[in-house]
Amino acid sequence: MGSTTAGTRKKVTLQTIQSLYKKNEPITVLTASDFPSGHVADTAGMEIVLVGDSLAMVAMGMEDTNEVTMDEMLLHCRSVNRAVKSAFTIADLPMGSYETTPEKALTSAIRMVKEGGMKGVKLEGGAEMASTIRKISQSGIPVMAHIGLTPQRQHSLGGFRVQGKSAAGAVKLLRDALAVQKAGACMVLIEAVPSEIAEIVTRRLSVPTIGIGSGNGCSGQVLVQVDMLGNFPEGRFLPKFVKTYADVWGEARRGVEAYREEVKSKAFPSVEYTYPVSKEVLEEFEKVVDEVGEEE
């Protein structure tokens, strides 16, 4: 099946993504927020690495995604970009960096490319964002549109709620998808929408859809990396759509506790973790040790 583990993998371009879409091969997308997470996503063969504003919550400990600034996003983008050699990179435009005018949005998108090293940008919203999407994509920066559950608009949506559940909601979703496609979006991310609805929307579009919590009928899938790796504090809430493929947190916790025990018991550092010194040097040093600092 398709592209495998990388290393010498060729650079993924929009054309690569287009050809996967044509072949009906699912497009793999994963978030990253720093050098190590960018590195593992890239070398494990993800086609797209997304610097999502969810990093506000998972990497910065903020309450939601609305607090993170453009400058903070750029810092994370630069770290991810140093690690990613093959994957196509996209970053979320954070709340406040694109809503006021298409010109402001383009300025922010250009910063993501020039300062963040990103290849494309993602922004939340449907039909109402069409002129913004057009402005950015006509300037040569690929735009992924994010519809369905749009976390930056959680207070209008009444929280992190499933979208497109009613017939009217599904019609709105389809209208949004068609509008952002017409405006030039190169991909449409669909978050937290019933599978059947997302599948029908995907069929009506001629650009790939990337689903999160929207079932198997999308052209590709995305998850937040720390979620799928189980790399988060005990007891943290996880959306129903997250499948956990590893227990990185458990392993990290086990390691730190073992280190603590061994420091307390003096089992660490044992001799193999220390540097040798010759007996002669040691004897010579011991001879003078009491005099050092007492001179004059």
Ligand X SMILES: Nc1nc(=O)c2c([nH]1)NC[C@@H]1CN(c3ccc(C(=O)N[C@@H](CCC(=O)O)C(=O)O)cc3)CN21
Ligand Y SMILES: CC(C)C(=O)C(=O)O
- State which H helix or E strand residue 221 sits in: strand 220-223
- Which residues does residue 148 pair with via DSSP β-bridges, in sequence order? 191
Question: Among 222, 226, 228, 229, which residue interacts with ligand Y (rule: CB under 6 A)?
Answer: 222
- Give whichever of 31 and 79 is closer to ligand Y, judged by the CB atom: 31
Q: Smallest distance from the beta carbon of 55 to Mg ion, in angstroms?
A: 9
Q: Are 35 and 55 in contact (CB under 8 A)?
A: no
- Give whichever of 113 and 218 is closer to ligand X, judged by the CB atom: 218
Alpha carbon 124 to chain centroid, angstroms: 15
Q: Is 189 in the site for ligand Y (CB under 6 A)?
A: yes
- Residue 269, preceding peptide bond in cis (omega within 30° of 0): yes
Q: Is 191 a catalytic residue?
A: yes
Burial of 78 (0-12, 13-18, 19+ CB in 10 A): middle
Q: Which two tokens stand for residue 271?
A: 């001799």
Question: Among 31, 89, 181, 214, which residue interacts with ligand Y (rule: CB under 6 A)?
Answer: 31
Q: Which stretch binds ligand Y (CB under 6 A): 47-55, 68-76, 164-172, 200-208?
A: 47-55
Q: Smallest distance from the beta carbon of 36 to ligand X, in angstroms?
A: 17
- Give whichever of 47 and 53 is closer to ligand Y, judged by the CB atom: 53
- Give whichever of 86 and 97 is closer to ligand X, judged by the CB atom: 97
Site for ligand X in 4-23 (CB under 6 A): none
Site for ligand Y in 92-131 (CB under 6 A): 92
Cβ contacts of 16 within 8 Å, gap of 6 or more = 10, 47, 88
Which residue has 């590893």 as its token pair? 246
Q: Is 191 in the site for Mg ion (CB under 5 A)?
A: no
Q: Which two tokens stand for residue 189?
A: 């991310």
Residue numbers annotated as active site: 191
Contacting residues toward ligand Y, per CB under 6 A: 31, 52-54, 92, 146, 189, 191, 212, 222, 224
